């Protein structure tokens, strides 16, 4: 009976959703801004006189009707993605209209009064979701087809260009730029909900995993295309000083997160003090930069200082990794947490004059290349680029280098041995894997990459302060790795981007900013416990059960242990 009513309910909910999008959303005409169409409606404008979030609802409603009656595989996940996306858009904008100056944001001097359209849209999305959950579960769609290399390159190129478009549009809240705009918060959440619905539908059809596996097969090409897309960011709609600063910081933390991905994602070692290695690299680079407050009154070329920062951080990584020979799990987390706290206290107390204490090490000289200062706003071909764009390009090269190192390590004998340790350390040791040396190597490699990122970070900020390397940064980096997808390169980058963009975009919600931020993380991890971009091992571990109730084949889980053991005995 439930199954028989599923399709009619989904269709009715989709129709009600479209009707809600066409009705007014407020009982008064708003002032000029992104929301004037909430109270008025011009049917002669295409399509149906809608724009912004109401257009998203109309498209989702039409998609719900189509996928309800068109025979497709995994219909339940498709309709659930559409329903949750529509629910997010409807609820956010309903609360925004009803908010006051001390709540979710005011749109006029008087309190907003929701009109019938907003309530109808919420009801329609609820009915659509209820109908979707009545459908019988189906096995997850998996695309195993391999195409010629040139066809896969074209698909990857199109996918990464589309990703660049989505990112730049997301940063500008769906096409509306301006950080001081009071409408940017709900517009951003509406656009994010629509994009989430789109990605959910693609995931239900197996497209996201197919492209992820394709990028693994063409790692070098994927990295090159990603770097080119990143270089193109300053020439897009986010090419201004504010977003250049944000994207540069995202790049630094993305490079650091990829390094942490070696420790956590590949080797499975929980590190709660990882940001300390980034701080070590920053302070070493600051002392070798020629800054007036530096202990060493020397100025080395940046390349030399960055390499030295990576080496020193790597040595500390080996020292911290040594206890892994005796402890694991929660005890290892406590050891790394203690190291991070020790580093913060040492930096704060300025032991040896190496950290500057509470005064930090300010006025680190700006980098220059062929007479051009990195913080200046250069002009290329008559186009004025934002200030600090040269630092952004440097950070893009750093991320590309870290990607290259991670990609090659993951698919090497060492990487497979790390994965074997992550899956079952005792079995890996019994099969001949030298777990002790490999765990120390994981810590040392991750710390070296973090030290390089710290050197760039110190020069970008022109200061090195212990405030930038405290425990909350370690937690954020760990969340970026887990949220994006452990063991994957795009996952770490996407996780870092989300964790540093979401708080910026939600500033208009004032006191509710962190509430929405936390709820977003909870929702993502509830529906994607393997991460937004999971590798095939994590997908196999957390795969859904098929219709017979039996779990999917776990060959992908056992393979790393077997391969690593075979190579260890060779």
DSSP string across 198-211: HHHHHHHTTHHHHH
Picking from 197, 188, 191, 176, the residue whose alpha carbon sits closest to that of residue 36 is 176
Counting residues of the chain whose pLDDT is more than 70, the rounded percentage is: 80
Residue matched to tokens 């540093």: 500
Q: Long-range CB contacts (< 8 A, 24+ apart) of 237-242?
A: 237/168, 237/169, 237/171, 237/172, 237/177, 238/168, 238/171, 238/172, 238/177, 239/385, 239/386, 240/386, 241/377, 241/386, 241/387, 241/388, 242/179
In degrees, to the nearest 5, what angle opens at C-alpha 58 toward C-alphas 55 and 59? 90
552 DSSP assignment: P
Q: What is the mean pLDDT of residues 473-483?
A: 87
What pLDDT sits at residue 108? Answer: 35
Residue matched to tokens 């049917």: 43
Residue matched to tokens 């209820």: 130
> Residue 564's pLDDT band (boundaries 50, 70, 90)?
low
Cβ 125 vs Cβ 188: under 8 Å: no
289 DSSP assignment: B
Picking from 115, 98, 113, 93, the residue whose alpha carbon sits closest to that of residue 34 is 93
Identify the residue with better confidence: 105 or 233: 233
Does the pLDDT value for residue 172 go beyond 90?
no
pLDDT digits (tens, 9 = 90+) for 523-552: 777 777 777 777 766 666 665 444 333 344
Question: For the chain, give me the number of helices (H) and strands (E)?
Answer: 21, 4
In degrees, to the nearest 5, what angle opens at C-alpha 353 toward C-alphas 350 and 358? 35
Torsion angle of the four alpha carbons 426, 330, 553, 557, in this order, in degrees rounded to the nearest 10 = -50
Would residue 69 be called left, alpha or beta, if left means φ above 0 and alpha means ψ between -120 and 50 degrees?
alpha
Q: What is the mean pLDDT of residues 67-90?
A: 88
Cβ-based neighbour number of residue 219 at 10 Å: 17
133 to each of 128, 519, 549, how far by Cα in Å? 9, 22, 18
What pLDDT sits at residue 184? Answer: 62
pLDDT digits (tens, 9 = 90+) for 263-291: 998 888 888 889 999 999 999 999 998 88
> Residue 34's pLDDT band (boundaries 50, 70, 90)?
very low
32 to each of 40, 181, 190, 279, how far by Cα in Å? 12, 12, 19, 47
Which domains does the chain carry? 2-148 (1.20.1440), 239-541 (1.10.3470)
Phi, psi of 560 (to 5 degrees): -60, -40
> For residue 399, what are its two tokens?
């991320």
First and final CA of the chain: distance in angstroms? 60
Q: What is the mean pLDDT of residues 323-331?
A: 80
Annotate 124-162 with DSSP letters as a single string.
Answer: HHHHHHHHHHTSPP-PPP-------HHHHHHHHHHHHHH
Cβ 206 vs Cβ 141: under 8 Å: yes
Torsion angle of the four alpha carbons 149, 150, 154, 155, in this order, in degrees rounded to the nearest 10 = -30
> Residue 561's pLDDT band (boundaries 50, 70, 90)?
low
Q: What does the alpha-carbon distance between residue 357 and residue 460 come to, in Å, rounded to a whole number?
A: 20
Does the pLDDT value for residue 47 go beyond 60?
no
Cβ 501 vs Cβ 250: under 8 Å: yes
Q: What does the alpha-carbon distance between residue 68 and residue 352 come to, in Å, rounded to a whole number?
A: 69
What pLDDT sits at residue 317? Answer: 92
Cβ 379 vs Cβ 352: under 8 Å: no
| Whether the bond into 47 is cis, omega within 30 of 0 | yes
Q: Residue 388 in 3-state DSSP?
A: coil
Residue matched to tokens 């940046």: 302
pLDDT digits (tens, 9 = 90+) for 342-386: 888 888 888 777 888 888 888 898 888 777 788 887 877 777 788
Cα–chain-centroid distance for residue 445? Answer: 22
Identify the residue with better confidence: 521 or 300: 300
What pLDDT sits at residue 38? Answer: 47
* Bridge partners of residue 380, in order along the sequence: 383
Does the pLDDT value for residue 242 go beyond 70?
yes
What pLDDT sits at residue 33? Answer: 43
Does the pLDDT value for residue 196 go beyond 60?
yes
**Using CA of residue 507, residue 512, residue 515, residue 521, what is the dihedral sign?**
negative
pLDDT digits (tens, 9 = 90+) for 103-128: 344 333 334 455 677 888 999 999 99
Phi, psi of 329 (to 5 degrees): 65, -130
Q: What does the alpha-carbon distance between residue 490 and residue 219 come to, in Å, rounded to a whole number?
A: 11
Annotate 424-469 with DSSP letters as a single string.
Answer: -HHHHHHTT--HHHHHHHHHHHHHHHHHHHHHHHHHHHT-B-GGGG
Q: What does the alpha-carbon distance between residue 528 and residue 78 come to, in Å, rounded to a whole number?
A: 15
265 DSSP assignment: I
């Amino acid at each position: 009976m439930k199954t028989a009513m599923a399709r009619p309910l989904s269709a009715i909910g989709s129709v009600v959703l479209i009707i809600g999008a066409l009705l007014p959303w407020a009982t008064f005409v708003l002032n000029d801004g992104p929301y004037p169409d909430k109270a008025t409606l011009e049917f002669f404008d295409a399509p149906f006189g809608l724009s912004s979030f109401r257009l998203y609802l109309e498209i989702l409603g039409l998609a719900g009707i189509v996928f309800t009656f068109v025979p497709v595989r995994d219909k339940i996940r498709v309709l659930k993605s559409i329903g949750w996306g529509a629910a997010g858009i409807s609820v956010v904008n309903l609360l925004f209209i009803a908010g006051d100056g001390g709540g979710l944001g005011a749109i006029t001097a008087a309190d907003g009064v929701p009109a019938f359209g907003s309530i109808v849209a919420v009801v329609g999305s609820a009915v659509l979701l209820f109908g979707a959950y009545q459908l019988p579960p189906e096995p997850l769609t998996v695309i195993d087809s391999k195409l010629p290399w040139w066809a896969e390159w074209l698909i990857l190129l199109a996918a990464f260009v589309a990703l660049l478009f989505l990112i730049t549009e997301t940063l500008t809240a769906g096409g509306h730029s301006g950080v001081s705009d009071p409408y940017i918060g709900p517009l951003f959440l509406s656009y994010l909900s629509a994009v989430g619905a789109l990605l959910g539908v693609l995931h239900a059809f197996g497209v996201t995993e197919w492209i992820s596996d394709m990028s693994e097969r063409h790692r070098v090409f994927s990295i090159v295309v990603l770097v080119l897309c990143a270089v193109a960011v300053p020439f897009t709609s986010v090419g201004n000083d504010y977003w250049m600063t944000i994207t540069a910081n995202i790049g630094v933390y993305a490079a650091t997160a990829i390094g942490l991905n070696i420790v956590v994602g590949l080797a499975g070692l929980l590190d709660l003090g990882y940001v300390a290695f980034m701080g070590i690299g920053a302070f070493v680079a600051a002392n070798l930069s020629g800054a007036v407050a530096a202990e060493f009154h020397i100025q080395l070329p940046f390349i030399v200082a960055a390499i030295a920062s990576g080496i020193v951080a790597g040595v500390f990584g080996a020292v911290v990794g040594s206890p892994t020979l005796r402890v694991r799990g929660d005890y290892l987390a406590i050891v790394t947490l203690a190291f991070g706290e020790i580093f913060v206290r040492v930096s704060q107390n300025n032991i040896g004059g190496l950290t500057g204490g509470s005064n930090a090490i300010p006025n680190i000289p700006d980098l220059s290349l062929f007479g051009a200062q990195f913080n200046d706003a250069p002009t290329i071909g008559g186009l004025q680029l934002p200030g600090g764009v040269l630092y952004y390009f440097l950070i893009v090269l750093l991320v590309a280098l870290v990607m290259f190192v991670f990609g090659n390590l993951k698919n090497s004998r060492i990487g497979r041995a790390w994965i074997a340790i992550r899956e079952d350390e005792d079995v890996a040791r019994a099969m001949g894997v030298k777990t002790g040396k490999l765990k120390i190597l994981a810590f040392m490699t991750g710390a070296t990459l973090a030290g390089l990122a710290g050197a760039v970070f110190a020069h970008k900020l022109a200061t090195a302060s212990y405030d930038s390397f405290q425990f909350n940064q370690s937690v954020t980096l760990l969340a970026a790795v887990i949220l994006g997808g452990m063991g994957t390169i795009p996952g770490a980058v996407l996780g870092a981007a989300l964790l540093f963009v979401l708080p910026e975009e939600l500033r208009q919600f004032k006191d509710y900013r962190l509430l929405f931020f936390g709820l977003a993380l909870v929702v993502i991890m509830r529906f994607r416990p393997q991460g937004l971009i999971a590798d095939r091992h994590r997908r196999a571990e957390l795969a859904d059960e098929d219709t017979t109730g039996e779990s999917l084949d776990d060959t992908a889980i056992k393979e790393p242990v077997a391969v690593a053991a075979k190579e260890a005995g060779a």
